[in-house]
Chains A and B, each alone.
Chain A
Amino acid sequence: SQTIHQWPATLVQPVGSPLSLECTVEGTSNPNLYWYRQAAGRGLQLLFYSVGIGQISSEVPQNLSASRPQDRQFILSSKKLLLSDSGFYLCAWSVHKGLNPEAFFGQGTRLTVV
């Protein structure tokens, strides 16, 4: 069965510090990968998606970047965090092609920028 791992679960970082959140998927090959952000009291916003190694698309301009160095690894980064980067970050995967369009989510990372 497929599993998705996301870490760390919680993170408190000072303004201006770098960020690296990691997500890995097991039990599937060539998945589509996604990073979402959920701000307090709001819905989910898609930040980045990737359909293959090294292929990253950004949905919204922001202070963050994403990379996919391996097939089942997706990393969210920032060189200098802003207060507005605080939120709940969720990694997700879906099959690349097929009849199952749903996404499967990790447990999330609560990021607080202070």
Chain B
Amino acid sequence: AQSVTQLDSHVSVSEGTPVLLRCNYSSSYSPSLFWYVQHPNKGLQLLLKYTSAATLVKGINGFEAEFKKSETSFHLTKPSAHMSDAAEYFCVVRDLFSGGYNKLIFGAGTRLAVHP
């Protein structure tokens, strides 16, 4: 069965410093992987997705993630944090056995705090 593990429940960075949010996945097949962001009391917004094309995926707001099959990882990075990046981030894998309904399996989330 597919699953994702977000290795940090909380990450705190200073504004202007790099961001690294870690995610490991478990899948017997080449997975579809996503990162979503959720600001307080808001819905989830898709940051980026990996669907077996280029292993380095660029997303919105300067975020990117690299799919590393050998490490079963899909870490999210950003070179320079902005105050507006403070939010909760979810790593997500698509359940390959869900048939036609695209069942998504969510990690527990990582709360990113950005300090001035």
Contact = CB atoms under 8 A, between A and B. Distances in A.
Interface of A: 6, 32, 42-44, 46, 49, 51, 57, 88, 90, 92, 94-97, 99, 101-108, 110
B51 A43 contact: no
Interface residues of B, number: 22
Interface of B: 32, 34, 36, 41-46, 49, 51, 90, 94, 100-104, 106-109
A101 B100 contact: no
Contact of A101 (B45, B102, B106, B107): B102
Given A49-B103, A51-B100, A94-B102, A108 B43 contact: yes
Contacts of A43: 90, 106-109
A32 B103 CA distance: 10
Q: Chain B interface mostly helix, strand, loop or mixed?
A: mixed
A32 B43 contact: no
Contacts of B108: 42-43
B100 A32 contact: yes
Nearest to A51: B101
A107 B40 CA distance: 10
Contacts, number: 55
B94 A101 contact: yes
Counting from the closest, the 8 A-B pairs by CB-CB distance are A105-B43, A105-B44, A107-B43, A44-B106, A94-B102, A43-B108, A43-B106, A101-B94
6 contacts: A32-B102, A92-B44, A97-B100, A105-B43, A105-B45, A107-B42
Contact of A44 (B51, B90, B94, B100): B90
Contacts of A95: 102
